[in-house]
Structure formats: structure tokens, C-alpha cells
Amino acid sequence: MPIAETKLHPLTQLTEDEQMLKDAAGDFADNIIQPKVHEMDEAAKLDPDLIKQCFEMGLMAIEIPEKYNGAGGSFFMSIVAIEQISRVDASVGVFMDVQNTLVNNAFIRWGSEEIKERFLPQLATEKVGAYCLSEAGSGSDAFALKCSAKEDGDAYVLNGTKLWITNANEADVFLVFANINPEAGYKGITGFIVERGMDGFSISKKENKLGIRASSTCELLFEDVRVPKENILGEVGKGYKVAIETLNEGRIGIGAQMIGIAQGSLDAALAYTQERKQFGKAISDFQGVQFQLAKMATELESARLLVYNAARLKEAGQPFLKEAAMAKYYSSEVAENLSSMAIDLFGGYGYVKEYPVEKFYRDSKIGKIYEGTSNMQLQTISKIILKG
């Protein structure tokens, strides 16, 4: 085919629905979230009114089908929205990310019709969800779970603790992974739906974090929590499959959060360098500064293409494990790098809370840690490429 007839369809080309959501999420971030960012970061708490507005905007139920009161959108639409929100505040970005790519996706994919009818309308309109896998002794070794579940008549009794649980303070619905048969190893892991207010279930220590401070991260305690059998998500003993496949998708969401942080850093640097005057002209007129901005823009576009590619593959039903790992690994590198470069370009102003770049830098660090550390992503990538 002659070059003139070739039709290009870049990964960054959005459908009409994707563009509409991007614009709406961007406007919401700029006009509603932005004025609250500093106050929420200082208070280490999300504004309750903002949480309600996220539901009203449909940002908490992008992929939930319309028959369950959701928006009936696509996975890629979730990615676009997470990116736009994180461009302004990564705390709100991860708040809606966990709801969409982990909790809602798990319920949609693994829930029975009865489970979907009970919980999806609540998750779509008013109730926050939390995804509860990590424990003190099970981080990268995610399935070394000590949280146990013992069968007792028409229920299972849960005992143990969970750590590093995002959205814990705000959540009413908790997807908890516990082992019904430790001797069977990961084959005993089962997913349980625990609801706020169940006897013996409590939310304990809230972590005082470096970044994404407004996003709650807490310890959960389970002391003889009786969970009815109808609250099992998926099959008994198949929780490992629910957990790992959901996390594979969730890593693309973290990638979206990271490119949002990187975009926010670049936007701030572009604006500041054109306003800041030194030696009689804007510092953006100096070639050394221009080169830094060019590097930032190039790294960001590379990371965005990796994230979008992984999202498109997932949505198309194609293998995406390697691409998701690459997207999360590289986007977290880029977010940290660009936010650091932005501070350098701001100089002393970049080091104070009056300007946004120091927060972008603090928020970026978590990208290399949660939902699979950078080393775990590299391990995944290397295993796949060595197998050819």
C-alpha cells in the first residue's frame, strides 16, 4: 500500500466516548479537585463532599454495566479518567483507581449474579470498596497469607490482619483474601466479601505516609468475623486466581496514575519556566532548560504509549501480562524522574509546598512499591521474554 494511503491509528487516538470522559474528568480535576488538594494533603484525608461528587460524576463505576447503575464504559475509559485525575491529585486518582480496576472488576468478572445484584449498584452509587490482600509477612510474596478462614455451618470465620489497605477509612465493602486450608498453600486462598459493621471486624492504624497522603492506608483486624457463605467471591479455593488476575489489570491503573503525575509535573514546569525571568528573559529561552523540557516530554510520551498499549491489549482480550508489567515499571520511573526534574527547574520554589511539584515528587514514589514492586515487574518481564 502506498504511504499516502496508510491510515494511522496511534494508541493515543481516542474514541468519541473516551475523549468525552477525558474532557469531563479533566474539567472535574481542574475545577473541583484542584482547590482542595493542599488542604486534603495537609489533613491526610479526602474531602467527604468530594467523594460524593466522584460518585455523582460516575467516576467510581466506569465499567459497571448500566443495569447495575454503572456508566457501562470500558477499561480504557477507566485508564483515561485515572490519568486525568492524577494529573491534579494522585490521592484521588488512586482512590478511584482501586474502586474501578480492582474492586469493581473483581465483582464484575468473578461475582455470581446474586453477588452482582447485591453489591454492584451500591459500589456504583455510594459505597467505596477496598481490596485486601497484603499482610505483614506477605508483600511481594503475596500468597504467604496468615489470615485464616474456618468453615462453620453456613459461614466462614475469619481471623488475622491486613496491612497497607487503600481506601480502608472510606470503604464499606472489603474484598478480603484468606486461606481456608494453609496446608494446601495458595490453593486454599478464597475471596470473601466483608462489610463494614460485621462483628469482630475493625479498622485499626492509619499510616502516616510520605505521599498520596489524602488516600487512606490502614491496618484491618479480623477477630472471629463471621462471613456468610453467600459472601464468597468466585469459587472456594480459587481466590489466588481472582487476586492475581485482578492485580494484573490493576497495574495498568497504577501506570495511568503515574503518567498523570508525570503530566502534572511537565505542565507545571512548562508554565513556570515561561514565567520565571532571569538575566532579562524567561528561563525557557535558555537552551539548557529547553533540553530538560524536551527530555521530560519524550519520557512522558513513551510511558503513556506503554500504558495505553497494555490497556488496549487487555480490552481486546489479548495477552497483556508483560505489557502491564512494562507499563507499571517504566511509568513509575518516569513519574519520579519528571517530578524531580520539575523541582530542579523550579529551584528553591520547587522545594516548598506553595508550589505543586514537591507533592508530585512525594506522590510518585509509591509507584515503584504498591501493586507489585519494580523488581517484581522486572522479574515478570524477564521470565516472559526468556520463554520467547
| Same-domain status, 94 and 21 | yes
The pLDDT value given to residue 142: 76
Same structural domain, 374 and 253: yes
Phi first, then psi: give them for residue 140, nearest 5 degrees: -65, -35
368/325 Cα distance (integer angstroms): 11
pLDDT at 310: 98
| Distance in angstroms (rounded) separating the CA atoms of residues 60 and 100 | 6
Residue 3 reports pLDDT greater than 60: no
DSSP string, 3-54: GGGPPP--TTPPPHHHHHHHHHHHHHIIIIIGGGHHHHHHHTS--HHHHHHH
| pLDDT category of residue 9 using cuts at 50, 70 and 90 | low
Give the model confidence (pLDDT) of 105-163 as tens digits. 999 999 999 999 999 999 999 999 999 999 998 878 877 899 999 999 999 999 999 99
The last residue of one of the domains, among 102, 128, 154, is: 128
Q: Can you give the CATH number for the domain in which 195 is found?
A: 2.40.110.10
**On the CB side of 250, how many CA atoms lie within 13 Å of its CA?**
25
% of the chain beyond a pLDDT of 70: 97
- pLDDT beyond 70 at 5: no
Same domain, 87 and 136: no
Say yes or no: 281 and 303 in one domain.
yes
3-state secondary structure 58-70: CCCCCCCCHHHCC
Q: What's the mean pLDDT in 20-26? A: 98
Last residue of a domain, one of 79, 102, 128: 128
pLDDT digits (tens, 9 = 90+) for 193-223: 999 999 999 999 999 999 999 999 999 999 9
Q: What is the CATH number of the domain that holds 377?
A: 1.20.140.10
Whether 229 and 254 map to the same domain: the answer is no
Q: What is the DSSP string of 158-176?
A: EEEEEEEEETTTTEEEEEE
What pLDDT is stored for residue 141 in this prediction? 85
Q: How far apart are CA 283 and CA 272, in angstroms?
A: 9
Element (H, E) at 379: helix 374-386
What CATH number has the domain bearing residue 65? 1.10.540.10
The residue-averaged pLDDT of 223-231 equals 98
Question: Contact 70/63 with Cβ under 8 angstroms?
Answer: yes
Residue 4: pLDDT band with limits 50, 70, 90: very low
The answer on 228 and 155 residing in a single domain is: yes
The three grid cell numbers given for residue 212, joined into one nine-digit string? 498520596
Q: If you search the block for the grid coordinates 469531563, which residue do you land on?
A: 24
Same domain membership, residue 90 and residue 146: no
Mark whether 231 and 249 lie in a shared domain: no
The identity of residue 60, as a single letter, is M
Mean pLDDT, residues 26-45 taken together:
98
Domain boundary among 101, 128, 155: 128
Q: How far apart are alpha carbons 176 and 245 in whole angstroms?
A: 15
DSSP structure string for 318-354: ---HHHHHHHHHHHHHHHHHHHHHHHHHHGGGGGSTT
Residues 93 and 59 in one domain: yes
Structurally, the chain folds into a number of domains equal to 3
Same domain flag for 86 and 205: no
As a whole number of angstroms, the distance between CA 142 and CA 163 comes to 12
pLDDT in tens, 355-374: 999 999 999 999 999 999 99
Give mean pLDDT, residues 30-54.
98
Residues 264 and 370 in one domain: yes
What is the residue range of 210's domain?
A: 131-237
Give the dihedral of Cα atoms 214, 216, 217, 222; nearest 10 deg. 170
Instruction: Give me Rg for the CA atoms of the chain.
Output: 21
Q: What kind and span of H or E run contains 140?
A: none
**Is 371 a catalytic site residue?**
yes
Q: Answer whether residue 72 shows pLDDT above 70.
A: yes
pLDDT tens per residue across span 84-109: 999 999 999 999 999 999 999 999 99
Do residues 123 and 142 both lie within one domain? Answer: no
Helices (H), 276-320: 287-315
Given this model, what pLDDT does residue 8 score? 47
Task: For residue 153, give every residue at least 6 positions away whose Cβ sits within 8 Å of its Cβ, in sequence order, or none.
Answer: none
pLDDT(2) > 60 = no
